[in-house]
Structure 1
């Protein structure tokens, strides 16, 4: 698989809307195209740069933020080892600072600097890592907690569920603590990384769902600790589904997916597979997430000997078929 071969070009940068989200996706031959309709956005700004959050339609709601450093790779170019070695650098107030500045706005910009956030680790070159959602018009944000042994239930009535964040574990001593001995609530660093994917798989796109708050479902991230499931989700009025508007498996320029390829494999720029749109539409239309290999096996070979790529334009919008 070619390193960095999949590139995403968002026509409307960080666009979050309740209507249509337009995306162009290019995937090199042999890789897999991933089409997805989602509300969430992720921004990273290196220290001294500016983070920009934008919702062309809808309003910003910051989900998580950290000014510090959690890995040695991000914002590391040209930095000496001693400035990127501390990967336990967290600024606890990051979320509240971002929320106060940005929540409820369409556009927000904030400097990733010690002046704004304070310096949680002197001598470390930091970055601001932010996840946020653009809440569409008519959508409502909820937070729900279910104690271990109970059942986590969501009912959006005739609206649709989108889980934004989730953790099965324990991050404070107060929640779900009544009657519990100290040793069962003392570990407040208990997180289960798969919590979001488990809950989303069960609930996303549905009008109601329920799931057992148990080790059986989520696994046990901290044996002996009494845990709880904590989640943020929205109920939104129109489900968002993929609609492919254009597609071509072939080659129409010399530059795309050309790294390391000999001239003979990228010289034919009149290579088009007419059935590309129908193949993509059959595979992906009406879904929220879709994966399809960019291969001759799936699309046929419109130009033998040419290294091809799949170029797709699609939108995310309400399902044309009523789900009521």
Structure 2
């Protein structure tokens, strides 16, 4: 199995992933209507390096376009990289659409695209909901350097628990601020209240949050050194060790009560389901207030459960299902059952490309791609949702595992796959979809 075929070299290389976290990521989004571009960092925060809105070759986003719309390959709108840096730097996830950068037309009659190159580096990342305080602190002998801060709201999920819907609807409320840097840079610790009185109110009636990215550096560090390579040895070593512990076993047990939800998730790496049971293996699990006769059969297991979980969840960062998903038959009539899943998280590369964008997979020289899992569809209402109509993100039961990415990319050093219905067919008409891919890089044998 792929998840246990990780070479020692791969484990060593990945455990030091944060030393190589400054490798370049690239996202390309064709300018079709309101296509969404998504930048994300599993580890660290976004640091935009380059961004192009225009055209610099005749191949990118060229499918179905007449030659005259591809002719100008020296087309670039000024200010694009600054706009992306202001919007996205210091965040874990950043979504925009081409409307955000299409402030003018740099080459009339040419079909354009947005292409962004960025790195992820291991800054500390703090979110404080409105009415709370962000606490920034470093080890003794180190001081804070704020990379980016933003007060407002960019999604409907952060700081949303039991908030009225009207207070979380406005996700176009992003207000970059230098107040945190002014208050905290050069200090060993610092507390900043997430409030309108500190930052003013960028969107009245919306419940907001403060998002901060910062690093800790030695007081003797050179101020001229680039931020993303001024990371302390302690931070790098501590964070790189996360990947060594990422293969420990996790277990989730969900009692089969109506439509209870089971959630698997990985902060680092992607899900790799090891075992799964729908049935009963003992008399204790999920036994509260259940009569003894419904606990008697402890050799009850529905066939195919682990395969169903692997198909649904492997290669994803988060996977939610309920017991209806696997309750396709009754393996033991009259017995109260549960779903118990054991899984690991391992440090695969994880890429999400919104419909109309392309997923770029690549490895270092001498290494080749092995795709662990790929899925085209929609499983939540937040991914690739920026300014999309509500009707196009409502269907979250649109999950279509595919081997197309593996067929195209396995064994190659780099590979680009377009997230489109023409490549994968349309698993749910009228829904705006995305491609999610997990892959590893291994040395050629």
Which band: TM-score by shorter chain? Answer: 0.3 to 0.5
TM-score normalised by structure 1 residue count: 0.39
**Higher relative contact order by CA 8 Å / sep ≥ 6: 1 or 2?**
1
TM-score normalised by structure 2 residue count: 0.29
